[in-house]
Structure 1
Amino acid sequence: MSEITSGSQVSLHYTGTLDDGTVFDTSQDKEPLNFTVGQGQVIPGFENAVMGMNEGEDKEFTVPPEEGYGQQRDEMLLKAAKDELPEGVQVGSVLRSSVNGQEMFFSVVEADGDDFILDGNHPLAGKSLTFAITIVKVS
């Protein structure tokens, strides 16, 4: 059996939950997640947790924000005038924009008079993420 090391091609099924038990993502009833260990294709805490595992092995682990999507950053909160945004924008909308040549997504989190508050943090920033995984294949 092949043990997962840096450079391994890994195929696995996973379910990710938040502290309150809410499922935020899963590969169940879909194709397994495929990635190469050490290539930065998944969050660092996830990659670290699979190291040393073998095909057929199950594991549950929690990734702290620092090894996931980072902490919430106040500088990622922006105020934008309603008339500067596309028509029909409301709280809960997600906007795409290019910032310094990099594509970013902003969630509209609050209406404040003639302005909206936009949040450019990743939706899972600041959260501990618990994963239940099953290794399908290692090569």
Structure 2
Amino acid sequence: MKIAQQKVVKLHYSVMDKDNNAIDSSFDNEPLEFIIGSGFLIPGLENALIDKQAGDTFTVEVAAKDGYGERHDGLMQAVPKSMFDGMDIEVGMQFRATTDDGEQTVVIIDIQEDDVIVDGNHPLSGIDLTFDVEVLEVRDATEEELAHGHVHGEGGCGSHHDHKHDENGGCC
């Protein structure tokens, strides 16, 4: 079966930056499993999977614009250090922040005398990535998986310990 929209794909991957620094890998852990077209993967990787099938291994280079996007200087800002009173902060710490565009993760990139500089860019934004991929399984998604927008483990929707349903019965 070839990979196409609304198919469930199980794969292993490793990802490196342009200097061949390893960023992440699933090969020593559980494989990744998701529905094509659900927005789970970055576009450049998802597009490279179309028409592949179980057993395929390949390498794909994904430009930043097709990955986590380009960096935007406007997503970096200084906030008063007083906002972190009572907290032991350091460079690299991540926080959830409420912005004009809703909730987003920000990372502390500098601590100055009166201000803390935070960056709302994704840590991998602006970086061209190379993925090594091994496709393990391709199958049709169930009606329930399609309705909820994600893969269910063995035993159905409640099999993930952090898996919940909202008041309308949808997964959240």
- Give the TM interval when normalised to the shorter protein: over 0.9
Aligned structure 1 segments of 4 or more residues deviating by more than 2 angstroms: 98-103
Q: Of Structure 1 and Structure 2, which has the larger fraction of its residues in strand?
A: 1
What corresponds to 1:138 in structure 2? 138
Give the aligned length. Answer: 138
**Distance in 2 of aligned mates of 1:101 and 1:89:** 25
For 2:74, what is the secondary structure of its paired residue?
Answer: helix
Residue identity in the other structure for 2:125: A
1:101/1:128 CA distance change after superposition, 3 Å: closer
Between the aligned residues of both structures, percent identity stands at 33
Question: Structure 2 length as normaliser, TM-score?
Answer: 0.76
**Distance in 2 of aligned mates of 1:98 and 1:55:** 41
Q: CA RMSD in A?
A: 1.4
Q: How does 1:1-139 map to 2 (within 5 A)?
A: 2-86=1-85, 87-100=87-100, 102-139=102-139
**Larger RCO of the pair (alpha carbons < 8 Å, separation 6+):** 1
Structure 1 residue ranges without an equivalent (≥5):
none
**Distance in 2 of aligned mates of 1:106 and 1:38:** 27
Question: Structure 1 length as normaliser, TM-score?
Answer: 0.93
Residue identity in the other structure for 2:133: I
Report the alpha carbon displacement of residue 63 of structure 1 after superposing the two structures with TM.
0.6
**Distance in 2 of aligned mates of 1:42 and 1:115:** 35
Residue identity in the other structure for 2:44: G
**Distance in 1 of aligned mates of 2:70 and 2:101:** 23
**Distance in 2 of aligned mates of 1:3 and 1:138:** 7
For 1:49, what is the secondary structure of its paired residue?
Answer: helix
**Distance in 2 of aligned mates of 1:137 and 1:93:** 36
**Distance in 2 of aligned mates of 1:106 and 1:48:** 28
For 1:16, what is the secondary structure of its paired residue?
Answer: strand
